[in-house]
């Protein structure tokens, strides 16, 4: 996190969006389009965009960006980065006239782009551990990083923070809860006494354990308040998303697990809260829409008009806060446990969860197997308290195969 506000000084701000075709990626493109209208002093330029599938969507992003990038020198189109090599090669063969210099192929092209001296800010919006290397590359190059990819902090929080300190990279949260906490923290000079993460409770907030054991994929994908990619939507249904966010908060704000709480707030209007020493609790509120935290990460310390929907204050608010039920949602216990012990635990939990969610999405395991499988893998790994990145990546591979072995999945 930045110690003190620094404003990107250049007039043209080159932004690289990693994972541009996803839910956060699409919202980021909207934010850049909006900024070019509301911030006449700067030119917010989409410098590059990556995708792992959907090459058509990537091309549309590029051509649409040219319509709101009018001040770009020579109207240079944004670079297209294909993290999947086959997709990139297929794209090049079907577009023989496209200048090769504007295309990058393979995961290494994302790393190079994240470190390109022309790039001012990187929005890390790839889903899962696949986003780790490119996010770390941006931090190593001392960029401003809008961090949506929470898995990077879960896997390697201490490594990330150490690197950011050395390079003066500015790590700004995009996750709505962490953005809320970051915003509220500016209301106090001391470290907060507690941070209170809010959780919508997901589609199974009122379901009992038996009902959850029979949950279908369709019901797990029906989130009541947020529209997101499939992996985080399933994480929200198990409340593993909140567990990952507890771990993310532990490293992002350098606070012990004991200073972090979770409350359920079904309306997703209060995005999180901070309690200070004097008992004052500050909350950040806005309708559930990711454009606001994304834009704030890009424009911080400034606030500009945002294209997010405004509050409808003509209706009763009916804001509710409920105690989180750790018995029905045991993922929360895993999150607090991992935030407490640190070390190798985050990498193992994250990998087991990614693998289990993939199996559930493929229809191979039951909904409740996800968290049970994660708990077993975590309990059976050889814990180390101060692992280097290479060890975390080794354990990531181990946890995936261990999860499959335990759940007897193919
Ligand atoms: P998504 O599935 O909608 O999009 C994921 C993006 O990552 C796509 O552009 C895809 O092409 C790319 N991608 C997928 N696999 C890849 C790989 N192996 N290598 C490189 N790129 C790959 O996901 P999302 O919902 O936008 O979430 C992205 C990240 O943001 C996640 O870490 C999620 O936890 C976090 N986040 C999302 C939201 C939200 O509202 N969607 C909110 C907070 C945090
Ligand atoms: Mg969140």
**pLDDT tens digits for 8-27?**
667 889 999 999 999 999 99
Q: Tell me, what's the pLDDT at 284?
A: 98
Residues 222-235, mean pLDDT to the nearest whole number? 94
Query: Of 147, 173, 199, at which residue does a domain stop?
Result: 173
Same domain, 189 and 248: yes
| Count of structural domains within the chain | 2
> Cα of 177 to ligand 2 centre, how many Å?
5
The answer to whether position 245 is within a domain reads yes
d(CA 115, CA 98): 23
Residue 217 lies in a domain: yes
46 and 135 share one domain: yes
CATH number of the domain encompassing residue 196: 1.10.1740.10
What tens digit of pLDDT does each residue of 299-314 get? 999 999 999 998 888 9
Cα of 172 from ligand 2 centre, angstroms = 14
Pick left, alpha or beta for residue 106 (phi over 0 → left; psi -120 to 50 → alpha; otherwise beta).
Answer: left
Co-location of 150 and 200 in the same domain: no
Name the CA dihedral angle for 70, 75, 76, 80, rounded to a multiple of 10 degrees. Answer: 60
Residue whose Cα lies nearest atom 31 of ligand 1: it is 127
> Does any ligand 1 atom lie closer than 6 A to the CB of residue 273?
no
49 lines ligand 1 (CB under 6 A): no
Task: Determine the atom of ligand 1 nearest the C-alpha atom of 52.
Answer: 11
Verify that 19 and 82 share a domain, yes or no: yes
Please indicate whether residue 240, judged by its CB atom, sits closer than 6 Å to ligand 1: no
State in Å: Cα 410 to ligand 2 middle: 31
Give pLDDT, residue 9.
61
Distance of alpha carbon 332 from alpha carbon 244, whole angstroms: 9
286 CB near ligand 1 (under 6 Å): no
Compute the distance from residue 148 Cα to the ligand 2 centre, in Å: 9
142 lies in a domain? yes
CA of 140 to the centre of ligand 2 (A): 25
Distance, in Å, from the CA atom of 104 to the CA atom of 79, rounded to the nearest integer, reads: 7
Q: How confident is the model at residue 408 (pLDDT cuts 50, 70, 90)?
A: confident
Give the least confident one: 17-26, 40-49, 68-77, 338-347. 68-77
Based on the fold, state whether residues 129 and 266 are members of the same structural domain. Answer: no
| Choice from 24, 225, 350 to test ligand 1 binding pocket (greatest atom count within 8 A of CB) | 24
* pLDDT tens-place string over residues 166-195: 999 999 999 999 999 999 999 988 889 999
Final residue of a domain: which of 152, 173, 194?
173
Residue 44 and residue 33: Cα distance in Å, rounded? Answer: 8
| Residue identifier of the C-alpha nearest atom 7 of ligand 1 | 126
Q: Does the CB atom of residue 22 touch ligand 1 within 6 A?
A: yes
Once rounded to an integer, what is the mean pLDDT over residues 141-158?
Answer: 98
Residue 354 resides in a domain: yes
The pLDDT of residue 5: 55
> Residue 111: which CATH number?
3.40.50.720
Q: Dihedral, CA atoms, 289, 292, 298, 302, nearest 10 degrees? A: 180
Does residue 206 sit in the same domain as residue 269? yes
pLDDT band at 325 (very low <50, low <70, confident <90, very high): very high
Q: Is the CB of 148 under 6 A from ligand 1?
A: yes
Mean pLDDT for 140-165 is 98
pLDDT more than 90, % of the chain:
86
Residues 62 and 154 in one domain: yes
Indicate the average pLDDT of the chain: 94
Same-domain check for residues 272 and 382? yes
Q: How far apart are CA 374 and CA 238, in angstroms?
A: 12
Does the CB atom of residue 145 touch ligand 1 within 6 A? no
Whether 311 is in a domain gets the answer no
Report every protein residue that has its C-beta within 5 angstroms of ion ligand 2.
Answer: 175, 177
Distance 175 CA to ligand 2 centre (A): 5
1-10, 231-240, 309-318: lowest mean pLDDT where?
A: 1-10
Question: Can you give the residue range of the structural domain that contains 65?
Answer: 5-173
Q: Are residues 209 and 226 in the same domain?
A: yes
State the distance from the centre of ligand 1 to the C-alpha of 295, rounded, in angstroms.
Answer: 17
Among 119, 152, 173, the domain boundary falls at: 173
Q: Quick one: pLDDT band at residue 253, thresholds 50, 70, 90?
A: very high
Query: Do 62 and 40 share a structural domain?
Result: yes
CA distances to 32, 50, 268 from 102, in Å: 20, 12, 40
Does residue 19's CB lie within 6 angstroms of at least one atom of ligand 1?
A: yes
Percent of all residues in the chain with a pLDDT value above 70, rounded to a whole number: 96
Question: What does the pLDDT look like over 54-101, one tens digit per residue?
Answer: 999 999 999 899 888 755 555 678 999 999 999 999 999 999 888 888
229 and 147 within one domain: no
Q: Which atom of ligand 1 is nearest to the CA of 176?
A: 43
Largest CA-CA distance found in the chain, in angstroms, rounded? 65
> Could you tell me if residue 96 is inside a domain?
yes
Asked, for residue 373, whether it belongs to a domain, the answer is: yes
Q: Are residues 219 and 143 in the same domain?
A: no
* 172, 2 contact by CB (below 8 A): yes
In a domain, 304, yes or no: no
Q: For residue 55, give the ligand nearest its CA.
A: 1
């Amino acid at each position: 996190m930045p110690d003190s506000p620094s404003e990107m000084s250049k007039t043209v701000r080159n932004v690289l969006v990693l994972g541009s075709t996803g839910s956060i990626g699409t919202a980021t493109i909207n934010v850049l389009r909006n900024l070019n209208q509301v911030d006449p002093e700067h030119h917010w330029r989409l410098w590059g965009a990556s995708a792992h599938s959907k090459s058509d969507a990537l091309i549309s992003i590029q051509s649409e960006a040219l319509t709101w990038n009018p001040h770009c020198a020579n109207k240079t189109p944004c670079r297209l980065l294909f993290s999947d090599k086959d997709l990139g090669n297929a794209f090049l063969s079907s577009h023989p006239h496209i200048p090769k210099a504007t295309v990058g192929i393979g995961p290494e092209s994302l790393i190079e782009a994240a470190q390109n001296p022309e790039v001012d800010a990187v929005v890390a919006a790839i889903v899962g551990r696949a986003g780790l290397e490119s996010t770390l590359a941006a931090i190593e190059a001392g960029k401003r990083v809008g961090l949506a990819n929470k898995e990077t902090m879960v896997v390697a929080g201490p490594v990330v923070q150490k690197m950011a300190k050395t390079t003066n990279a500015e790590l700004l949260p995009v996750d709505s809860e962490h953005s809320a906490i970051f915003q509220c923290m500016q209301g106090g000079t001391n470290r907060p006494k507690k941070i209170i993460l809010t959780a919508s409770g997901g589609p199974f907030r009122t379901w009992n354990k038996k009902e959850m054991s029979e949950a279908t994929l369709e019901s797990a994908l029906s989130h009541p308040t947020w529209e997101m990619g499939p992996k985080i939507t399933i994480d929200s249904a198990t409340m593993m998303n909140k567990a990952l966010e507890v771990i993310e908060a532990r490293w992002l704000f350098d606070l012990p697990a004991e200073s972090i709480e979770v409350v359920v707030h079904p309306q997703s209007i209060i995005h999180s809260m901070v309690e200070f020493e004097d008992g004052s609790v500050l909350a950040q509120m806005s309708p559930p829409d990711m454009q606001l935290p994304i834009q704030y990460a890009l424009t911080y310390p400034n606030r500009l008009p945002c294209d997010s929907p405004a509050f409808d204050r003509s209706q009763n608010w009916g804001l509710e806060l409920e105690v989180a039920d750790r018995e029905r949602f045991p993922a929360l216990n895993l999150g607090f446990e991992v935030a407490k012990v640190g070390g190798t635990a985050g990498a193992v939990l994250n990998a087991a969860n990614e693998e289990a969610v993939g199996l559930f999405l493929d229809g191979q395991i039951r909904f409740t197997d996800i968290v049970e499988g994660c708990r077993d893998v975590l309990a059976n790994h050889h814990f180390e308290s101060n692992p280097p990145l290479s060890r975390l990546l080794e354990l990531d591979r181990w946890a995936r195969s261990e999860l499959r072995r335990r759940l007897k999945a193919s």
